[in-house]
Amino acid sequence: MDLKDCTLTLGPVLFNWTAELWRDFYFEIADEAPVSTVYLGEAVCSKRAPLFDKVLTPVVERLEAAGKELVFSSLSEVTSTIDRKLIRRVAESDGLLIEANDISALSYLDGRPHHIGPFINCYNEDALHIFADGGATSICLPTEMPKSGLRVMAAEAATRGVSLELQIFGRVPLALSARCYHARAHNRTKDSCLFVCDEDPDGMVLKTLDDKPFLTINGIQTMSYTCLNMADSLTELAEMGIGRFRLSPHSAGTVDVAQTFRSLMDGALDADEAHVMLKASSLDVPFSNGFYHQRPGVEWQVPTPAST
Amino acid sequence: MSNMPFSSMTKPELVCPAGTPAGLRTAVDAGADAVYCGFQGPTNARNFPGLNFTPRQMADAVIYARDRGAKVLAAINSFPTAGRTEIWKKATDDAVACGVDAVIVADIGMARYLMQTHPHQRVHLSVQAGASSAEAIRYWCEKFNIKRVVLPRILTVSEIKAVHDEIPCEIEAFVFGNIGMMAEGRCSLTNYVTGSSTNMDGVCSPAHHVHYDEDDDGTLTSRLGDTVIDQFACGETAGYPTICKGRYSTGPKDNFYAFEEPVSLNLTHLLPDLMKAGVTALKIEGRQRSRAYVRSVVSAFRDAVDGYARGDVPDVSHLLALTEGHRETQGAFRSKTWR
């Protein structure tokens, strides 16, 4: 696959932003970001979902008017009655394309076209075939998968006409829990959280006892402190046949990041130029890409001529 | 409530850990109704050096257990990475050939492989599959003929009861042992720090990445790779550096257990409630623990389950001594405030 024919996508906002910030972010994406697909919806905490309900319609209208393909991301951890109702409501909505992030959603989606999100474990070719049999048209692979596995998946996906997607930029989701760690840090519980996660639009940084930033807390989700950046590997991914590249939204610079990646994909920039621009427009944290190279995910591997 | 007899229901099966053949014999002799174990290598979620079974040892274990009326459950519950599924399929074939009573899987591809290749083999869904709602469990049952689900340790007893009423398979629930804080099968923290994956390689905080350093004033620092997971004052008991049980600092709070304190799950007091909720099997964690530990815990639970089933209120206080740091929690099981 030629890099310029690949698709740039925008994953769902994973953080708790105010409804106004959330709306303005998507208006800006609609007007200025060169992404083809936008994933919308609450993937982390069902308590947050009602917060942006009131601005959902104008956001959908604006994105559709801008020609974006819309996919609705479902919740990644489904336990409580509220979680289950939310899954049902999203999955049974008429005419929406859904990204399933938990097997719960598949009980509603089986047999009709849908996407498999990165929170569903799809680690091998057998899993890929099962999801394709169930109607999956696109699968976003686990971020921790190494290059060798991605290559096998891409070859297999081609035989099924299934698109493969991979997160290429932004903080990386690393774990989910039943407990809300935002609430815990504020001496609250999940039920009495008062939505304290809204204080941290890009997550709450967790430092080790020797004062080094380590992880980021986002409610029940734990994320990397570092920012994934796969700019060096896009050509290789495209050659394998992975053609959908996902950006994960942050509170600032996302439009610039999208423009940089689109320019890189179109051949208007090289990777070194892209790194400089990405550094300037994204979070002031180190880049990482270790998972792809089968190294610790936190690491940043610089490509050598031999490895590309 | 605890005095109510359980004559109307089947006494739950006590499912016990077996890290080694000797550990398996210990658990069976101490009263386990079933033991669970895995093969050496990456195919199960306890891929630790010195643990687990060869196919020959597994076959012998099945004979030993069966002669004493106990079942053997083979855990093949990590996620094969694309390109190396044959290792997991071979492990599954070996387990079936050994005559195990059930294979415990987490990967959807492995579930289908079992159904297609070994249609008569009983299959359980591992806690690593993270099936935490009735909808998810029903999907697994309908698609892959799963007979029992091991529930994630994130549900309250009343939620377990509700799940039980809505699913067509048996429930196995953890009642004792180490408690990870992250949803099982959905954690890449170890891989982020060490380059070895819990899901793909079956390791969590692998020992060869663990270091302890003591400074001049006796403070002990535990690290996983280069990352400081905890620090212990002179005389304080030092725990194993598991990422989700370390101490960290955030904006609002310094030097605290940001995820969970190093405690163990102990649900002995909730056993009657779990039995009433319709739980078929009670699971004890600890394939990495010593034979002495396994003997003590299994014996105590054997007495407790038998006692409750008779309508007695057994003394279970001595189990506290076996918990991590002698501290226990009922985790998510008792109420939602834990969340």
* pLDDT surpassing 80 at residue A2: yes
Q: Does B230 touch chain A (CB under 8 A)?
A: yes
- Quick one: three-class SS letters along A133-194? HCCEEEEECCCCCCHHHHHHHHHHHHHHCCEEEEEEEEEEEEEECCCCHHHHHCCCCCCCCC
Interchain pair B248, A208: CB under 8 A: yes
Question: Is residue A305 over pLDDT 70?
Answer: no
Q: Is A121 within 8 Å of B228 when comparing Cβ atoms?
A: no
pLDDT computed for residue B325 by the predictor? 61
> Quick check: B200 contacting A, CB < 8 Å?
yes
Prediction pTM value:
0.95
pLDDT tens digits along A99-143: 999 999 999 999 999 999 999 999 999 999 999 999 999 999 999
CA distance, residue A31 to nearest chain B CA (Å): 35
- For chain B, say whether A110 makes contact (Cβ under 8 Å): yes
Average pLDDT for residues B102-111, to the nearest whole number? 98
The 3-class secondary structure across A183-237, one letter per residue, is HHHCCCCCCCCCCHHHHCCCCEEEECCCCCEEEEEECCEEEEEEEEECHHHHHHH
Nearest CA in chain B to A153: B82
Asked if A127 reaches chain B (Cβ–Cβ under 8 Å), the answer is yes
Distance from CA of A125 to the nearest CA of B (A): 6
Is B109 at the interface with chain A, CB within 8 A?
Answer: yes
Backbone angles phi, psi at A10, to 5 degrees: -120, 115
CB contact under 8 A, B183 and A176: yes
> Pick from A144, A177, A205: which is nearest to B191 by CB?
A144
CA–CA min distance B114, chain A (Å): 12
Which residues of chain B neighbour A129 with C-beta distances below 8 Å?
109
pLDDT digit string, tens, across residues B285-307: 999 999 999 999 999 999 999 99
* Average pLDDT for chain B: 91
Average pLDDT over residues A54-82: 95
Q: Residue B18 pLDDT more than 50?
A: yes
Measure the CA–CA gap between B114 and B121, rounded to whole angstroms: 7
Whether B299 contacts chain A with CB within 8 A: no
User: Does the structure show a pLDDT above 60 at A97?
Assistant: yes
Average pLDDT over residues A10-34: 97
Cβ within 8 Å of A, B 110-139: 110, 112-113, 129-136, 138-139
Q: Among partner residues A185, A191, A298, which is closest to B258 by beta-carbon distance?
A: A185
The H-or-E segment that residue A131 falls in is helix A125-133
ipTM of the assembly?
0.96
Mean pLDDT confidence for B111-116: 98
Any idea how long chain B is? 339
Whether chain A has a CB inside 8 Å of the CB on B87: the answer is no
Output the pLDDT for position A307.
46
In the predicted model, is pLDDT for residue B6 greater than 70?
no
